[in-house]
Amino acid sequence: MTTFAQVRLAQPLTGLVTLSQLLGAAQHDAAAARADYDRSRLAAAYATAEAFVRVLEARATADVAHQSVVDIAGSLDRAQKLRLADTLTNVDVLRLRSAKAAADQASVRADTTSEVAIAQSGWPSTCPTSARSRSTSTPPAPSRSSPPTRSGSR
């Protein structure tokens, strides 16, 4: 005598659907997190590049302003010598003195702008583009005449 029994149990598939939805949601969350991370990295890289360009631009402006001071100081020295020889008038010398004073002011303003750009960038003031670190590192190459030094500003 042999007995044979067959039992069938039905397992609902609704659990698999929920599991599939949860897995899909987790994958979408992971993709969203990766996208947020990539966006944050790109934003940080852009902000860093923008700050670097601002610092370079400010340094270039300061270098031009300092060279203008040197050039105008040379012209003023020459004009004073020509005034002693009665080739130029006092008005010509005064005009150059005024231009030198304006160039000195532009130079100070450019240094300030440069230091502000460095401070806003979050870099230490000892970075290679800093006017403060440039003035304390190696002395500049000799030129026709050196720009006047500002006591207490550095």
Condensed to tens digits (0 to 9), the pLDDT of residues 103-133 reads: 999 999 999 999 999 998 887 765 554 444 4
Does this model's pTM top 0.85? My answer is no
Q: Name residue, tokens 């006092």.
A: 90
> Is 137 strand, coil or helix?
coil
Joined tokens for residue 101: 């004073």
Handedness of CA 59, 65, 69, 70 (dihedral sign): positive
Which of left, alpha, beta for 95 (phi over 0: left; psi -120 to 50: alpha)? alpha
CB-based burial of residue 92 (10 Å sphere; 0-12 exposed, 13-18 middle, 19+ buried)?
middle
Q: Residue 17 — very low, low, confident or very high, per pLDDT cuts 50/70/90?
A: low
Contacts of 96 (CB under 8 A, 6+ apart): 72, 75, 76, 79
Q: Residue 5 — very low, low, confident or very high, per pLDDT cuts 50/70/90?
A: confident
Contacts of 99 (CB under 8 A, 6+ apart): 72, 76
Query: Tell me, what amino acid is at 146?
Result: S
Q: What is the mean pLDDT of residues 15-44?
A: 87
Q: Residue 13 — very low, low, confident or very high, per pLDDT cuts 50/70/90?
A: low
Between the two ends of the chain, the Cα-to-Cα distance in Å is 110
